Chain A
C-alpha cells in the first residue's frame, strides 16, 4: 500500500515538474484564431450578433463564448465556413439574431435630410459624408448595408435599397437538374 502511494506520488511529482517546466518554456502569446475567424466574417459591423462589431464577435467565438450562428449577413455560407474552421457542427442561423437578407445599400433621400449628422456618427465604416445642417449622402462603394444608420435618422430619410444585378455582377445560375426532357418554347 505504501509502495503504491509512493509510486503514484513519485509519478505525480515527476510529471508535474515536467509539465510545469514545459508550460513556462513553451509559452505562447497572442491568439491567431481570432484573426482567422474575423477573416470569415462579412465585416458589415452591424452588431446583429450582439457584439459591437465583427472583431469582438470573432474574439468571443475564439474563446468559445459565442455560437457560430449569430451572423445574419454572413448567412448560411458563413456559418458553414465557421463550422469548418472551428470543427463544430453546422447549425442554422439563430432566429433571434435576424434573418439573411439580400445585400442592400443605404440611400439617403436628400430632400428630406435635415443634416443632423446622427447617421454619420452611427456609420461604422465612414460611408456617409456630409456636415451639420448640410444634406448627407452615402458612398455606395463603402456601404456594407449594416442598417445601423436607419434607426437613428429622426426623419426616416434613409432607405435600404437592394443591390440590383447588372451585366458585370450577373452570375451564372446553378444548372437545374433536368429530370424530364426539356420542352422547347
Chain B
C-alpha cells in the first residue's frame, strides 16, 4: 500500500520499553481493606457544554449510572465509575494547567462495584440519530487526548458514505504506551468497535495506522482483523516519526489527503478515531457499558512504569501508588513530554483525556536553558508538520500583534511542540502560541459581548424613542378626546346641572378666559371626566362567555391574569402593563 509523507516532524527518544514490560493492571480497586476510597468525577470532561449534575449529596449511585446529563448535543454525559454514595457535588481542582476548580461529583465507593442493568444496544435496529444520542448518553468521547464527543463525528459526509475510516494506533509521543498495550491485549474488542464505526459511517474501508515501532501491537491487530475475516480492513505500519499520530498527519500518511484547519474531515471522505475510542464504542454498544474507565500509562520517574485500567475519577495519588514515584519527582504531567500539561497536584482525578501520567524529575526533563532571541534560523519551519513559519508566529505573538499572527495561520498550529524541540535559542515557542490563541479567543468573546451590548443599547434607544412617541401620541389623543367631550359636556351641562355649573362656567368665561378652552377650567373638567367615565361604563358590555362564572373559574382567571401581568413586567419591565 502506498504511504504518503508529511513535512517536518522530529524523532526524540521514545522511552516506551519500560512501561510495556508488564500487562495492563487494574488500578487500585475501590475501597480495599475497609479503607475509604473517593472518586472525584468532573462533570466537564469533553469539548462542549458542561453536563448538568443529575445527583446530589446523599444519593446512592451504581456503577455506570449517569450522574451528568449532556448539555445539548455539543456535550457528552458522565457516569459514576463505581457504586457508592455521592458525598458532595462541589468545586474541586481539575487536571488543568490553570489549577482552577470545576464542578465535580465526589463519590465514596462502597466497594461492591455494583453495575446498573447493562444491555447491549443493537444499532441495526435504531436510526443513526438514536445511535448518536445513545453514544452521547454513554459518554463516549475521543480518547486520544482531544476528548471530542464521538457522537458528533459519526455522521458520514456528503453523499452519506465515507471513503476511508482511519483508526489511529500510531501513538507517536514518547513514554505513552496505553494504546500499544490496549492493541496487544484487546485487539478483538477494538476490531469489534471498528466494525461498529464502519457500519455507522458507511465507510468503504478501514485503515488502522500503527507506528512501526510497535511490532507486537501490529501483529495482534493484524491477527484480529484476519480472525474476523474483514476484507475491508487493513492494518498499516507507518514510519515512526513524531507527530505521525496527529489525526491530520496520520490521515495524510495513510491517504494523502490533507484536511485543513477548521474543516470537517468527513467532507474529504475520511474520519479518524483513536483505538481507545473504538474500544469504548465496543463496550458501550456491545456490552452496554458507558465510558467509566480508560487505560492510563504511568511512566517516567517511577520505580515500576506500567499501564493501568483506571476508573475515571481515580485520584492520581491512588493511581500512582503502585508505580512508586521516585524521591526526586518534581512534577506530574498529564500526557506526553511533547504536548502534556503540568498538573497542579496529585489529588486531581483521572479524566477521560488522561492517556498518560508522566512523572517528571529534573534529571528526566531538565529545566530549559535561558531563552535567547530568535535568530530566524528556520529550524522550526523545517520541523513544523503543519508547514507553518513558527518563527514568524513567534515574532508577532511575542509582540502581541495577534492579527499578523493569525495571518500567518496561527490557528493551523497543532501545538505539537516540534518547533520548540529543535529551537537553538531555547524559546518556549508553543507557550507563545498558546498565549496568543487564548488572547485571540478572549478578544473574540469580548467582541461578541460588545456586539450584543450594542444591539441591546440600540434596541433600548429605539424603544425609548418609540415610547416617547407613543406617550406623545396618547397625550395628544387624550387632549383631543378631552376637547370633544368638553364640548359635549358643555352642551349638556345646563340640562344636568343647571344652576351651579352654568354659574361657574359663566363666571369663568367672564374672567376673560375664552370659552374654547374649557379644559383649563377645573370644575367643568371634573364633570367632563365623570360624564365620559359614565358613558364608557354604560357602553361597556361584558362578553357573553365571562358572565355567570363559578367562583372557581373566576379564581382561575384571576390567577392567569396575575401570571400574565408578571410575565409582561418581566419581558418589558419599562412598559405599561397594557402596552
Give A contacts to B, CB under 8 Å.
38, 41-45, 53-54, 117, 120-121, 124-131, 134, 142, 144, 165-167, 169-175, 177-185
B14 at the interface (CB under 8 A from A): no
Q: Which of B267-275, B278-286, B430-438 contacts A (4 or more CB under 8 A)?
A: B430-438
B460 at the interface (CB under 8 A from A): yes
- Inter-chain CA distance A83–B487, complex, in Å, is 65
Q: Which B431-461 residues have C-beta < 8 A from chain A?
A: 431-432, 434-435, 437-439, 442, 446, 449-454, 456-457, 459-460
Whether the Cβ atoms of B574 and A185 lie closer than 8 Å is no
Q: Which B136-191 residues have C-beta < 8 A from chain A?
A: none
A-B contact pairs, 16 of them (CB 8 A): A38-B454, A124-B457, A125-B453, A131-B569, A131-B573, A134-B569, A142-B452, A142-B456, A165-B100, A166-B100, A170-B96, A172-B97, A175-B371, A175-B428, A179-B370, A181-B370
- Inter-chain CA distance A166–B101, complex, in Å, is 7
Whether the Cβ atoms of B452 and A42 lie closer than 8 Å is no
Q: Which of chain B's residues have a CB closer than 8 A to the CB of A134?
A: 569
**Nearest CB on A from B100, distance (A):** 5
* Contacts beyond the supplied A45-B453, A179-B370, A181-B370: 20 A-B pairs with Cβ under 8 Å: A120-B574, A124-B457, A125-B456, A125-B457, A126-B573, A127-B456, A129-B570, A131-B570, A142-B452, A142-B453, A144-B453, A166-B100, A166-B102, A170-B438, A172-B437, A175-B435, A178-B370, A180-B370, A181-B367, A182-B367
Whether the Cβ atoms of A182 and B368 lie closer than 8 Å is yes
Q: B452-488 toward A: CB 8 Å interface, digit per residue (1/0)?
A: 1110110110000000000000000000000000000
Q: Which of chain A's residues have a CB closer than 8 A to the CB of B442?
A: 169, 171
B94 at the interface (CB under 8 A from A): yes
> With A120-B574, A174-B435, A175-B428 given, is the CB distance from A167 to B98 under 8 Å?
yes
Whether the Cβ atoms of A43 and B98 lie closer than 8 Å is no
Interface size class of B (residues with CB under 8 A): 35 or more
Whether the Cβ atoms of A43 and B457 lie closer than 8 Å is yes
Q: Which of chain B's residues have a CB closer than 8 A to the CB of A53?
A: 457
Q: How many A-B residue pairs have CB under 8 A?
A: 96
Whether the Cβ atoms of B370 and A124 lie closer than 8 Å is no
B44 at the interface (CB under 8 A from A): yes
**Nearest CB on A from B76, distance (A):** 16
Q: Which of chain B's residues have a CB closer than 8 A to the CB of A170?
A: 96, 98, 100, 438
Contact of B44 among A121, A127, A167, A171 (CB under 8 A): A167
Whether the Cβ atoms of A184 and B100 lie closer than 8 Å is no
- Inter-chain CA distance A22–B367, complex, in Å, is 69
Whether the Cβ atoms of A181 and B457 lie closer than 8 Å is no
Whether the Cβ atoms of B453 and A43 lie closer than 8 Å is yes
Q: Which of chain B's residues have a CB closer than 8 A to the CB of A38?
A: 454
B362 at the interface (CB under 8 A from A): yes
**CB closest chain-A residue, reference B463:** A126
- Inter-chain CA distance A117–B431, complex, in Å, is 48
Q: Which of chain B's residues have a CB closer than 8 A to the CB of A126?
A: 456, 459-460, 573
**Nearest CB on B from A127, distance (A):** 7
Contact of A167 among B94, B367, B369, B452 (CB under 8 A): B94
B534 at the interface (CB under 8 A from A): no
B258 at the interface (CB under 8 A from A): no
- Inter-chain CA distance A41–B438, complex, in Å, is 21
B330 at the interface (CB under 8 A from A): yes
Whether the Cβ atoms of A177 and B371 lie closer than 8 Å is yes
**CB closest chain-A residue, reference B432:** A175
Q: B345-366 toward A: CB 8 Å interface, digit per residue (1/0)?
A: 0000000000000000010000
